[in-house]
Amino acid sequence: MNRTDRLYALVEELRAVAPRPRSAHRLAEHFEVSVRTIERDISALQQSGVPIYAEPGRTGGYCLDKARTLPPVNLTPGEAVAMALALRRLDGTPFRSVAGSALRKLVAAMQTDDATAAHELAGRVHLFADDEAPATAVPRLVADALSTRRVLRIAYADREGAVTAREIEPLGYVGKAAHWYLVAWCRQRDALRVFRTDRITSVSVTAETPAPRALRREDLDIPAGKLSQLMLA
C-alpha cells in the first residue's frame, strides 16, 4: 500500500471506530508499518486539517471527530459536473467566494476514478459568454454578514447618488438575477430596510453582536408568489 492510500485508509479506520480511540501500535500492526510511520502519517493528516486528536493513558490512542468529516462522497461524474454548472450561476451573489471551495471539497472526497472521469467530462463542456453584463460582485464583508453576526457600519448611496452613513444589523438576503439585497435593521431609521449590495460603497465590521431579531417573509412587503425561500432539501 502506498502512502496516499494508507493515509486515506487511516482516516476510514478511525472513522469506523469513532469516537473510540485506536493506539498507534494497533494501527501499525493493521497497516504493517512501524509505529513511527503511523505517527508521521497522523501528523500529516492533522496538518492538512483532518480533525484527529490524541487521547492519553493506557487505553488511549488516536480519535477522529466523526461529526466534522465527510465519508466518501459517491457523486457520479455527471452529478459533479451538474453541480459545477449550477455554481457558475452564483456570480454576483453573497455565496460566490465559497462556492468554489465547496465544489473542490466534494470533488476531493469522490472516489479517484470518479473524480478523474468528472474532470474529463467537465473538459468537454463549453459555455457561451453571457450576453448580459454579469451581476456586480457582493463585497466580501457584506457576503459574510450573516455568518459573522456583527453590526456593520456602511456608507450607502441612494438612487440619486447621495451617500449616508448607517449602522445596520444584518438579517437576510433577497436575490434577483441582476442584483442582490441585504435585509437589515437600520439603526438610523429604527426600521427594517433593504440595501442593494452594489450601492454599499464602504463597509466595516464592528465588535458588537446585536440581539437576535426574527425575519418573517411578511416583513419584506413583497407580494405573494414573487418570493420563494431557499431550501437545502
What is the pLDDT at residue 231?
Answer: 59
Q: How many CA atoms lie within 13 A of 206 on its CB side?
A: 13
What is the pLDDT at residue 110?
Answer: 81
Please check the confidence at residue 233 and state whether its pLDDT lies above 50: no
Dump pLDDT digits (tens) for 28-72.
999 999 999 999 999 988 887 788 988 888 778 999 886 666 566
Average pLDDT, the chain: 84
pLDDT band at 209 (very low <50, low <70, confident <90, very high): very high
What is the pLDDT at residue 130?
Answer: 56
Question: Of 221, 210, 137, which is closest to residue 170 (Cα–Cα)?
Answer: 210
Average pLDDT of the segment spanning 150-172: 94
Average pLDDT of the segment spanning 146-163: 92
Average pLDDT of the segment spanning 158-184: 90
* In contact, 81 and 125? CB cutoff 8 Å: yes
What is the pLDDT at residue 228?
Answer: 75
Average pLDDT of the segment spanning 228-232: 66
Average pLDDT of the segment spanning 124-144: 70
CATH code of the domain occupying 140-220: 2.30.30.520
What is the pLDDT at residue 211?
Answer: 93
Asked if the domains 3-68 and 140-220 are classified in one and the same CATH topology, the answer is no
Q: Is CATH 3.40.140.10 correct for 3-68?
A: no
What is the pLDDT at residue 127?
Answer: 66
Average pLDDT of the segment spanning 177-202: 91
Question: Who wins on pLDDT, 139 or 34?
Answer: 34
Cα distances (Å, whole numbers) of residue 141 to 102, 147, 149, 198:
19, 10, 11, 13
d(CA 109, CA 4): 14
- What pTM does this model have? 0.58
* In contact, 92 and 135? CB cutoff 8 Å: yes
Q: Where are the chain's structural domains?
A: 3-68, 77-122, 140-220
**Highest mean pLDDT range out of 4-13, 15-24, 184-193?**
184-193
d(CA 216, CA 233): 20
b/e string for 193-232 if b means 16 or more Cβ within 10 A? Answer: bbbbbbbbeebeeeeeebeeeeeeeeebeeeeeeeeeeee
Please check the confidence at residue 161 and state whether its pLDDT lies above 80: yes
C-alpha cell belonging to residue 112: 479517484
Please check the confidence at residue 17 and state whether its pLDDT lies above 60: yes
Please check the confidence at residue 232 and state whether its pLDDT lies above 60: no
